[in-house]
Chains A and B, each alone.
Chain A
Amino acid sequence: MDNQDAHPNTTAFFASAMHDMKNSLCVLINFLEGHHAEFDETLKKKVAPMLYEVKRVNNNLVQMLAIYKVGNEFYPFEMNENSVDEFVSEIVMQNQTLLDDLGVTLELDYDKDLTWYFDRELISGVVSHALNNAMRYTKDKLRLYVANEDDHLLIRVEDNGTGYSSGMIEAGNAVNKGVDFASGSTGLGLFFTAMVAKLHKHRGKTGSMVLENGGKFGGGCFVLRLP
């Protein structure tokens, strides 16, 4: 204890500061979404990039806090059985405003009766991040595909943009293998996703993430597989 007093726990301090910042962002996001109906179409278009950026920072804070907690072994990881229908619906609801204002259509393709075991908050963080990211790089279409494939839950976020650069795809593969050479926000998102995927284990099998090009629209594809 004395030792700790002499060297203050800076990480814990940063975490609580992040928590505080996150609260401010919540107020901002709620304001932007809450007053959305009052905006006219031009204003909506103008505000959209702002909402996008605020959500991006919020996602980043979610990721940093989760990484901090998982790293220190006190993230309350909960593998519960979730309805894929409920999960997807909620993600769509949380992102609908932004999709509309950016003029992006989201196509949904998932099995309504499917249930799967995963940590709702973490996977929601991963998929929201992937969707948010895809909104930035797509032309005008996105697809969210969820299905049971080879006894894994397969989640695909596909866009009709120009696709990932080979550097990004490599970074995705590398972080999955535990090597980390992407940096900045991209690196954070990949690191977080790979960490969350690895937390999901079932009878010797582990979750994984892949970035690839192609899919239904021929653009970038984010692929998450959970055992």
Chain B
Amino acid sequence: MLREMLKNFGSKNISVAANAKEAITFLEQGDKYDAVLCDYNLGQGKNGQQVFEEAKFRRLIGPATAWIIVTAEKTSDMVIGAAEYMPDDYIIKPINEAALRSRLEKVIAKKSELQDIERAIFAKNFNTALTLCDKAMGTGKANNEILRIKTNLLLDIGRYDDAKELFNKILSVRDVPWAKTGLAKAAFHLGEMETAQRLLKEVISENRTYMEAHDWLVKTYQQQGDLEEAQRILLRCTETSPNSMNRQKMLGEIAHKRGDLDVAEKAYRKTIKLGENSILNTPIAHLGLAKICTEKDNPNEALQLLKNVRKEFDDKAANLDAKVMEGVIYQKSGDHVNIRKTAEELAAILQEDPNLASTEVAIEAAEFLFKAGDKKSAESMLQTVVRNNHDNDTLIDQVKEIFNHAGMTADKAQNIIDTSRSEVVDINNKGVTLAKEGKLEEAIQWLRNAKAMLPNNKQILLNFTHAAILIMQKNGKNDNLVSETRECLKRVGILDPLEQRRIQYQSTLDTIPNR
């Protein structure tokens, strides 16, 4: 039917796919389509949103292709995706030829207005994209879209104060939920949790179905350590709108952390089910559920889940995590053949990239390796933990405990820890000294090498940031260095969301003049 209409108003090269698989095949053939009209409801397998996400994620469509979802009714399940995975338009059936034509023309016109901006984003040239946004503003019909893109860019690259200013400007005209939520996001990143919560609650009280606001409210409580409240909000959301993979995953993680294993298990299972057809699937639920299965004495299902992680995800860190868990399960059941095999594989992975494991996984790996008899790998694993967390006394005590447990004398353990610690302290000190002496270029180069070697060491990342700010305050802004520094700060945020200096540096970075 749609094909007839399209033909009638002169569209050429129309491909009609019978299902999601065929649609993906068409897109894979590399034809450049101006527009894709995709029904939301595609029967078994992927839905229209998931086909779109796959096409976008795998870059089967470029920034010039308009994606339009066709549906009999708009439902909340359809619009749960992240901002970057929002289709260009929705068409509610029935639509006649004239209306379809006019809608298509408008979407394609807007798309071409935004083409340069989206191309810059596609190529990750965020600063160029920002400049293009300012240039394009007010020249055409896509002002709203441009504003949204611009605010997203500012948040993405960490210019939170600028984002805040822009959101406030938008809000002075009209209380738009996306802008108020955006303002809350900026507040969140600047560590102002109470402000973020107040704004998000305002959005929700005006519009309960604005899911993004609920998601960010959860994040603020998570940040404050109030997991109970975070879980309560998520449970309420998943009751009315149970088909968001991301939300179920968040619920699983939070309930798991709280020790609410039944809720966590259910949420993880749902996440895995929802992820089956999604390109945005992550192994987090598999790993979490495997852990719960192990705790609940269900090793067979756990092993199956971990096997699936390897099969379904090309994710080195997740595979490492899975390996460690497998080892622990074999240790529990006393399967010596598999313990040895897993230990060997693990040692090989860690030797290749000792920074692959998060601190938590690294510690579990070390414990496993000690028990498996590979003292050398275990020690080197713990050395990496110490080097990456040289100023975290609680963690260092934990490491000491593990050494003691493995039968090492207290002196020897202290010796290993001190050596690793002083290596990092020396590296850091040299960087700081160079900076103090005004040798900023040298300091930056030194710390850049250090952070390549120890990418999980917060202090090195912060010192690099400090030196970068100093040199730019002196010589003016440098786009490459600004991006590198923002990356650094993002990394700090992941390692320690509560680190206050991150926010201070962030603000300072925003105020550096352009020269």
By a beta-carbon cutoff of 8 Å, the part of chain A in contact with chain B is 19, 22-23, 25-27, 29-30, 33-34, 58, 62, 65, 69, 72-81, 83, 86, 89-90, 93-94, 96-97, 117, 121, 201-203
The segment out of B155-163, B201-209, B303-311, B472-480 that lies at the interface is B201-209
Identify which of A22, A34, A97, A117 contacts B4 (C-beta below 8 A). Answer: A34
CA–CA, A201 and B141, complex, Å: 25
Taking CB atoms, residues of chain B closer than 8 Å to A65 are: 73
Apart from the given pairs A74-B240, A90-B102, A93-B99, 9 other A-B contacts in the complex at a CB distance below 8 Å: A22-B73, A33-B96, A34-B5, A34-B96, A58-B94, A73-B209, A76-B75, A79-B177, A93-B102
- B167 CB to nearest chain A CB (Å): 15
Q: How large is the interface on B (under 10, 10 to 19, 20 to 34, 35 or more residues)?
A: 35 or more
- B10 CB to nearest chain A CB (Å): 16
- The reply on B79 being an interface residue by CB < 8 A is yes
30 contacts between A and B (CB under 8 A): A22-B73, A22-B93, A23-B72, A25-B94, A26-B93, A27-B1, A30-B96, A33-B94, A34-B96, A58-B94, A65-B73, A69-B75, A69-B76, A73-B208, A75-B209, A76-B76, A76-B78, A76-B209, A77-B207, A78-B79, A83-B141, A86-B106, A90-B102, A90-B103, A93-B96, A93-B98, A94-B99, A96-B98, A97-B96, A202-B175
> Which of A74, A83, A121, A203 has the most B CB atoms < 10 Å from its CB?
A74
Top-6 shortest CB links A-B: A93-B98, A26-B94, A93-B99, A29-B94, A26-B93, A74-B76
Taking CB atoms, residues of chain B closer than 8 Å to A117 are: 174, 176
- The reply on B241 being an interface residue by CB < 8 A is yes
- The reply on B59 being an interface residue by CB < 8 A is no
> Which of A30, A34, A76 has the most B CB atoms < 10 Å from its CB?
A76
- Say yes or no: A77 contacts B95, CB within 8 Å: no
Taking CB atoms, residues of chain A closer than 8 Å to B98 are: 93, 96
CA–CA, A90 and B75, complex, Å: 21
- The reply on B74 being an interface residue by CB < 8 A is yes
- Please encode chain B, from 50 to 90, with 1 for each CB lying within 8 Å of some chain A CB and 0 for all others: 00000000000000000000001111101100000000001
- Please encode chain B, from 29 to 64, with 1 for each CB lying within 8 Å of some chain A CB and 0 for all others: 000000000000000000000000000000000000
With contact pairs A74-B76, A76-B74, A90-B102 given, residues A30 and B1 touching in the complex (Cβ less than 8 Å): yes
- The reply on B210 being an interface residue by CB < 8 A is yes
CA–CA, A81 and B92, complex, Å: 18
> Which of B1, B99, B103, B176 has the most A CB atoms < 10 Å from its CB?
B99
- The reply on B144 being an interface residue by CB < 8 A is yes
CA–CA, A93 and B241, complex, Å: 34
- Say yes or no: A30 contacts B209, CB within 8 Å: no
Identify which of B72, B78, B207, B208 contacts A22 (C-beta below 8 A). Answer: B72
- Please encode chain B, from 112 to 154, with 1 for each CB lying within 8 Å of some chain A CB and 0 for all others: 0000000000000000000000000000010010000000000
With contact pairs A19-B73, A77-B207, A93-B99 given, residues A203 and B175 touching in the complex (Cβ less than 8 Å): yes
With contact pairs A80-B144, A94-B99 given, residues A72 and B240 touching in the complex (Cβ less than 8 Å): yes
With contact pairs A97-B96, A201-B206 given, residues A121 and B174 touching in the complex (Cβ less than 8 Å): no
- Say yes or no: A121 contacts B74, CB within 8 Å: yes
Taking CB atoms, residues of chain A closer than 8 Å to B206 are: 201
**Smallest Cβ-Cβ distance to A119: which chain B residue:** B74
Taking CB atoms, residues of chain B closer than 8 Å to A93 are: 96, 98-99, 102
CA–CA, A89 and B96, complex, Å: 13
CA–CA, A33 and B76, complex, Å: 30
> Which of B94, B106, B174 has the most A CB atoms < 10 Å from its CB?
B94
Taking CB atoms, residues of chain B closer than 8 Å to A86 are: 102, 106
- B26 CB to nearest chain A CB (Å): 24
- A87 CB to nearest chain B CB (Å): 11
Taking CB atoms, residues of chain A closer than 8 Å to B174 are: 117, 202
- B371 CB to nearest chain A CB (Å): 40
Identify which of B4, B75, B240 contacts A73 (C-beta below 8 A). Answer: B240
- A72 CB to nearest chain B CB (Å): 6
With contact pairs A89-B102, A93-B102, A201-B206 given, residues A121 and B92 touching in the complex (Cβ less than 8 Å): yes
- A27 CB to nearest chain B CB (Å): 8
- A108 CB to nearest chain B CB (Å): 15
- A34 CB to nearest chain B CB (Å): 7
Taking CB atoms, residues of chain A closer than 8 Å to B75 are: 69, 74, 76
CA–CA, A121 and B75, complex, Å: 11
Taking CB atoms, residues of chain A closer than 8 Å to B96 are: 30, 33-34, 93-94, 97
**Smallest Cβ-Cβ distance to B103: which chain A residue:** A90
> Which of B95, B176, B209 has the most A CB atoms < 10 Å from its CB?
B209
CA–CA, A36 and B97, complex, Å: 11
- B454 CB to nearest chain A CB (Å): 45
CA–CA, A73 and B238, complex, Å: 12
> Which of B1, B72, B92 has the most A CB atoms < 10 Å from its CB?
B72
Taking CB atoms, residues of chain A closer than 8 Å to B99 are: 90, 93-94
Taking CB atoms, residues of chain B closer than 8 Å to A78 are: 79
**Smallest Cβ-Cβ distance to A122: which chain B residue:** B74
- B161 CB to nearest chain A CB (Å): 25
